Amino acid sequence: MMLITCSHCGPRAQTEFTYERTVDSVVQPDADPAQAMEQLFTRANPRGLDDELWRHTFGCRAWLVMTRHRVTHQIEAIRAVGPEALP
Amino acid sequence: MSGPRRGDDCGSIRFTFDGKELLARPGDTLAAALLANGIGLVARSFKYHRPRGIMAAGVEEPNALVTVGTGGRSEPNTRATDVFVYDGMVARSQNRWPNLAFDVGSVLGLAAKTLPAGFYYKTFFGSAKRWMFYEWFIRRAAGLGDAPSEADPDRFSQRAAFCDVLVVGAGPAGLAAALAAAEAGESVILVEQDSLLTPSLVRDPQELGPAWAQATAVRIRALGGRILLRTTATGYWDDNLITLSERLAEPGEQPPNGTAQRLWHVRAKRVVLATGALERPLAFAHNDRPGVMLSHAVRTYVRRFGVVPGQRVVIATNNDDAYLTAIALRDAGAEVVAVLDTRPAPAGASSGFPVHNDTMPLATKGARHHLREVSARVDGKIVRWQADLLAMSGGFTPVVHLHMQAGGAALNWDEASQSFLPGAARQSVTSIGAAAAADPVGPTPSPENPGKAFIDFQNDVSLGDVDLAWAEGYRSVEHLKRYTTLGMATDQGKTSNMAALGRLAEKQGVAIPEAGLTTFRPPYTPVTMGLLAGRTERDAGAHLRRLALYEVHQAKVPIWQPLGYWKRPRAYPQGTETLAQAALREARGVRQAVGMTDVSTLAKFEVSGPHAAALLELICATTVAKLAVGRGRYTFMLREDGLVFDDGTVWRLGEDRYLLTSSTGGADRMATHISYVRQFLCPQFKVSAVNVQEHYAGIAVAGPQAKAVLAALIGDEPPRHMSTTSATIAGLPVIVLAASYSGERAFEIYVEASQAEPVWAACEAEVIAQGGCLYGMEAMEFLRIEKGHLVVGGEIDGRLTPHELALGGMLNKADGFVGAAGLTRPALTQPGRKQLVGLEALAGTIPEGAMLITAPGQPAEGHVTASGLRVLDGGSIALGQLNDGFARRGELLLASSTTRGQSARVRVVAPHFYDIGGERYRD
């Protein structure tokens, strides 16, 4: 069980979080159909680092983008998303 | 006299094994107590039902699996070496019929040639008929203990802990490490799976003995350290999280304080693994008989438990350690008749035992219960010894399981000890003691008869099976494992992996480390399901959410219906009414006068701000922006793949303020979806989306008299259909939505949940005054089916497009909503996809969940999603999904439910049975 450092709450147990999806599978509302199909059904699925969308569901409920190694579970970076994280 | 023996003190603890009353001493494992009582035959092997005894003295025991305890406390597949006897313990052998000594299944052993390695593979991949033929026999014959059929009466708890240093294993090394850390001011947890500290110092007395261990433990505790006995580190997870399973009572024992086991989640800064090493058996013909034991185990039984497992002993070894066993046996009065050492004769002094070098056992002979003879080739001639015990040692394998689970990048092969030693690890973990180094061993010769030379005793895999797998083309260690089932038993190959790997490397012609390793998976030793479930086993896993009006309903003694995390009244029976009678009366009350029901559980979101409409236009597949203030409309939501996953209504309460409702069961999913769209897709929006599901209680009032009820309640003209207004009822502010699910003119009244009771009471008084009644979910189901309204989880099952649900006309033409792109997938417009239909029975009742078929024996072309009736006129009707259903109206089909054993002839019709023009909504 990973220790995930929530951008708002600090290090918390993985059980407080839910994995949502990989960032490369996010379909933007204005995506054209071909692009949407690509994102939905042909994902990169790398054996290595990937950007993933997580949520601190049983904590502050914030969404996070986590760069995580999919074999070793090593977390390289975590950044908050949402209105508060806008530049 | 031969066989295992103990001195005069038999002990005073009473227990039974297969119904026989026996005595044990305090501190005995079940294995020790069985040996002390002269019992050699303890189990039948998994596949061939071969007689098996006790081989080990620790958790690695592959043979002696027993069921301990009775009723809900009974625990199958418990290692007799890993359970301590208590007064009244009931233990039973497994996998035998009619009894352990005479087991019909053992004829399989005689016919073992018919069940070679890969038998299951060949059978599974053969024709289905072959499997059908074998299945009955296999299920009966191959197996472990039976799972208890009653609920476990005991509690299982869970606990979290944090520490600087977690030390696994309280042998001399672990204990010393824990003391050092504690003295350095670090917080320490030390865990030991055995019931005592430093059991190895009892087996092999040294200068630092049990007294030192006790004093050290006292010191560690005084420094604030925690020591847990009977606690196994079962798994090593990410970021130094280790799960511990702590036994507060022995298997099958009534726990003194009600809690049988405790699961610990320990997050440690550093972990020290002092997990020791496991002895390897030697492979030779019939090395699995009762009376063939590991050398360490023999010494443990002699020194720790005072049980001498045999009186005439042959020792077989490839290392020095087994000589200590010879000494222990001699000291205990047993006769060591031969020591068979695989190594050439040493130059030094004689050990004083009859040693034969360059040899190992050829085979053993014996009866079911005991060993009788060991043979070996000495100087080219076969020599036989009468012996009742064979103590074997094939060297030691450091326990690297936790190290590997911790992300051990590599194991270092140590040629001298023929074992893998822990290398670097990704996490903060160190191995020490016997877990980090092993003594050198001599050669391990191949047996002359590999077919009966077992390596995985628990799954009955012999060296011959490894050879067979190789001959049949299985080259990698992973394939070998799956084909032969080697290492896949409950002991996870603790004693077998190295022997198999050695054989495979020999076949491949490579060094052992090049043959590869299989994955070390948690748990290290088996854990019971109760431990994992903890306290979530009953309703604690899914907490009941209580309606704000729960007490009000409860006073009317409804039939409750679970719905997601909620319970809602299903019907309010009067007198002796059945559910169906009550529901029909309630539904007719709505159709003919007026009814009211609790709709508080509907998902509700308040969306406000300048971008409120823009956000809703993303979430909803219908238009929202064009909605006038005070108006509402039906809406539905798509997943990104274009399929409908929920529906509801959206209301414009003010200029920039909307209320969105959706299904009860999908409420949490919808909350996540809205949050995802708002936070991730549109962080730049100026909008707030608040989940107000439990903020408001909701009351629906429906029926021809509903408008009169509302007028009386709010003292004003009620809103038109699909309009909304704010009002006051019983002096409290409410939101009134004129929406209908029943097909009648209807209103939903929303009030702050904490103030729901007076509003409910006022509504109820008015509804009763108008000749109406309360109705529950069953009546609501009748009403909505007849009207053709959809339900999420029924017609909306996440597999149909808006078009297929006959909602296509309502789609937002402007696109841009979530799922718009997915909806253009060509696959979604292929013929043969399911479409929403109505069904009416020609006679009888349409069974819920029935398949729609053209004739018996034909494939299903659709299914019934909801079965109801015409509320006022009677007659069975239903909604369903049917391949190309729109074009098939008028067709006759059979709605057949094989599970219910019912069927009905049905006609495909439009999915509306009541007030198709919506006349009843008009004022």
Whether chain A has a CB inside 8 Å of the CB on B683: the answer is yes
Q: Are residues B283 and B379 in the same domain?
A: yes
Local structure of B51: helix, strand or coil: strand
Answer for the pair B263, B534: CB distance below 8 angstroms, yes or no: yes
Q: Are residues B22 and B171 in the same domain?
A: no
What does the pLDDT look like over B538-579, one tens digit per residue?
666 677 889 999 999 999 999 999 988 899 999 999 999 999
- Which of B729, B761, B789 marks a domain boundary? B789
Closest CA to B652 of B677, B624, B694, B673: B624
* A12 contacts in chain B (CB < 8 Å): none
CATH (domain of B704): 3.30.1360.120
How many whole angstroms separate alpha carbon A76 and alpha carbon A68?
6
Whether chain B has a CB inside 8 Å of the CB on A55: the answer is yes
Measure B56 CA to nearest chain A CA, in Å: 33
* A1 contacts in chain B (CB < 8 Å): 237-239, 241, 265
What amino acid occupies position B260? Answer: A
Residue for token pair 């050695």: B502
Which of A26, A33, A86 is closest, CB to CB, to B683?
Answer: A86
Instruction: Count CB atoms within 10 A of the CB of residue B888.
Output: 16
CATH (domain of B59): 3.10.20.440
- Which of B113, B142, B171 marks a domain boundary? B113
Read off φ and ψ for residue B254, nearest 5 degrees. -70, 120
Q: Is the pLDDT of residue B476 over 80?
A: yes
Give the model's confidence band at B128: pLDDT under 50 very low, under 70 low, under 90 confident, else very high.
low
Whether chain A has a CB inside 8 Å of the CB on B821: the answer is yes
Whether chain B has a CB inside 8 Å of the CB on A62: the answer is yes
Whether chain A has a CB inside 8 Å of the CB on B640: the answer is yes
Residue for token pair 């989940």: B691
Q: Are residues B614 and B583 in the same domain?
A: no
- Which of B656, B671, B692 marks a domain boundary? B692
Q: Choosing among B158, B244, B669, B679, which should be mutated to test the A contact, i.e. which has the most A CBs within 10 A?
A: B679
Do residue B426 and residue A81 have CB atoms under 8 angstroms apart?
A: no
For B665-698, b where at least 16 C-beta lie within 10 A, e where not — what string?
A: bbbebbbbbbbbbbbbbbeebebebebbbeebbb
In this structure, are strands B632-638 and B603-608 parallel, antiparallel, or unpaired?
unpaired
Q: Are residues B197 and B269 in the same domain?
A: yes
How many domains does one find in chain B?
A: 6
Average of pLDDT values for A47-71?
95
Instruction: Give the pLDDT of residue B106.
Output: 63
Instruction: Count CB atoms within 10 A of the CB of residue B338.
Output: 24
- Two tokens, residue B626: 């064009």
DSSP state of B640: T
Give the model's confidence band at B144: pLDDT under 50 very low, under 70 low, under 90 confident, else very high.
confident
Whether chain A has a CB inside 8 Å of the CB on B825: the answer is yes
Q: Are residues B558 and B589 in the same domain?
A: yes
Which of B407, B618, B816 is closest, CB to CB, to A72?
Answer: B407
Q: Is the pLDDT of residue A3 over 80?
A: yes
Whether chain A has a CB inside 8 Å of the CB on B614: the answer is no
Q: What's this model's pTM, rounded to 2 decimal places?
A: 0.86
- Two tokens, residue B899: 């599970």
Domain that holds residue B567: 549-601+694-789
Give the model's confidence band at B142: pLDDT under 50 very low, under 70 low, under 90 confident, else very high.
low
How many whole angstroms separate alpha carbon B69 and alpha carbon B74?
4
Do residue B822 and residue A55 have CB atoms under 8 angstroms apart?
A: no
How many whole angstroms separate alpha carbon B264 and alpha carbon B255?
18
Whether chain A has a CB inside 8 Å of the CB on B529: the answer is no
CATH (domain of B887): 2.40.30.110
* B681 contacts in chain A (CB < 8 Å): 26, 28-29
Whether chain A has a CB inside 8 Å of the CB on B267: the answer is yes
Read off φ and ψ for residue B585, nearest 5 degrees. -60, -45
CATH (domain of B202): 3.50.50.60
Whether chain B has a CB inside 8 Å of the CB on A37: the answer is yes
Q: Are residues B596 and B717 in the same domain?
A: yes
Q: What is the torsional sign of CA B69, B74, B77, B82?
A: negative
Domain annotation covers residue B139: no
Domain annotation covers residue B705: yes
Read off φ and ψ for residue B336, nearest 5 degrees. -90, 105
Domain annotation covers residue B588: yes
* B241 contacts in chain A (CB < 8 Å): 1, 3, 13
Domain annotation covers residue B797: no
Domains, chain A, in order of start with CATH, read 3-28+41-85 (3.30.2270.10)
Q: Are residues B324 and B252 in the same domain?
A: no
DSSP state of B524: S
Measure A1 CA to nearest chain B CA, in Å: 5
* A74 contacts in chain B (CB < 8 Å): 426
* B825 contacts in chain A (CB < 8 Å): 33, 37
How many whole angstroms separate alpha carbon B449 and alpha carbon B283?
9
Q: Are residues B778 and B757 in the same domain?
A: yes
Instruction: Give the pLDDT of residue B48.
Output: 84
ipTM of the complex: 0.97
Which of B641, B679, B818 is closest, CB to CB, to A29?
Answer: B818
The rounded Cα B678 to chain-centroid distance in angstroms is: 35
Q: What percent of chain B has pLDDT over 90?
A: 81
Do residue B640 and residue A82 have CB atoms under 8 angstroms apart?
A: no
Domain annotation covers residue B644: yes
Average of pLDDT values for B662-681?
96
Q: Are residues B737 and B588 in the same domain?
A: yes
How many whole angstroms separate alpha carbon B227 and alpha carbon B261?
16
Q: Are residues B672 and B716 in the same domain?
A: no
Whether chain A has a CB inside 8 Å of the CB on B820: the answer is yes
Q: Are residues B162 and B270 in the same domain?
A: yes
